[in-house]
Amino acid sequence: QSVLTQPPSASGTPGQRVIISCSGSSSNIGSNTVNWYQQVPGTAPKLLIYSNNQRPSGVPDRFSGSKSGTSASLAISGLQSEDEADYYCAAWDDSLGGVFGTGTKVTVL
Amino acid sequence: QVQLQESGPGLVKPSQTLSLTCTVSGGPIYRGGYHWTWIRQHPGKGLEWIGYIYSGGTSYNPSLKSRVSMSLDTSKNQLSLKLTSVTAADTAVYYCARAPYSSSTIFDQWGQGTLVTVSS
């Protein structure tokens, strides 16, 4: 029941920049802030970006977020091998409650 | 540092009720400011918000609302999830998480998750 759409996969070589998109609607991204999570398989998700573009303490500054209209993006600059994981966007939907993106698997080539 | 830990049966029979508990350590759950949330992840799939509970009430995913209930036990510092009439489609890893009132999808603390399989 994912109402936020992400590309299923993204990849890059070490050092490259990777951008993941998250597309929603006026009832979610268009009217509420976006958060991003990183999930290494077999572990719980970890908060990566909150309130569109804020990094929690301890998250490297090569991770950045942005939002425009009903879409948001997560950028990973200087891709590293430990960035290989699944990434999810999340937002509040005014009708549905909490909604997540479909998820993007990032592969470091 | 607040820590969350899910517990409960790993196997539930179809049509029965799934019951899980999340024990919170490092801070009282009755202290205002947080929505205590349940999230699940079907095997190999994405994340699904089930709902949250706080001292002022609950909010549930509309697609699960008829089968879900959540409660708080402040004496044990626990939150609980009940999901009735389960089917194989409810097989998933269930997480509890914490989100501030200011934004109910900023999950800053998570449990490690517990796998629940629905099977006879």
User: For B21-54, what is each residue's pLDDT tens digit?
Assistant: 999 999 888 877 899 999 999 999 999 999 999 9
Q: Looking at beta carbons, which residues of chain A come within 8 Å of B104?
A: 92, 97-98
What's the pLDDT band for A31 if we cut at 50, 70, 90? very high
Average pLDDT for A18-29: 98
pLDDT for residue A91? 98
When the pLDDT of each residue in chain A is averaged and rounded to a whole number, the result is 97
Q: How far is A100 from A1, CA to CA, in rounded Å?
A: 9
- A100/B contact by beta carbon, under 8 A: yes
pLDDT for residue B102? 85
Closest residue to B105, CB basis, from A43, A90, A103: A90
What's the pLDDT band for A1 if we cut at 50, 70, 90? low
Contact A98 B46 (CB under 8 A): no
> Is the pLDDT reported for residue A51 higher than 80?
yes
- A69/B contact by beta carbon, under 8 A: no
pLDDT for residue A62? 97
Average pLDDT for A50-79: 98
Q: How far is B12 from A97, CA to CA, in rounded Å?
A: 27
Residue with tokens 């009755």: B30
Q: How far is B19 from B69, CA to CA, in rounded Å?
A: 10
Pair B95, B113: CB distance under 8 Å: yes
Angle at B85 between CA B84 and CA B90, to 5 degrees: 85
Contact A103 B46 (CB under 8 A): yes
Q: CA of A91: how far to CAs of A21, A54, A96, in Å?
A: 14, 14, 10
Q: Torsion angle of alpha carbons A106, A55, A52, B24, nearest 10°? A: 90
Q: How many CB pairs under 8 A join A and B?
A: 70
> Is the pLDDT reported for residue A61 higher than 80?
yes
Q: Looking at beta carbons, which residues of chain B come within 8 Å of A44?
A: 95, 110-113
Contact A100 B111 (CB under 8 A): no
Percent of chain A with pLDDT over 70: 99
Nearest-neighbour CA in chain B from A63: distance (Å): 17
Residue B68, number of CB atoms within 10 A of its CB:
18
- Which residue type occupies B84? T
Average pLDDT for A44-70: 98
- Give average pLDDT by consecutive 10-residue segment, chain B, 120 residues: 96 98 93 91 97 94 98 96 98 97 94 98
Average pLDDT for A49-68: 97
Q: Looking at beta carbons, which residues of chain B come within 8 Å of A89?
A: none
Q: Torsion angle of alpha carbons A75, A80, A84, A88, nearest 10°? A: -20
Compute φ and ψ for A60, nearest 5 degrees: -60, 150
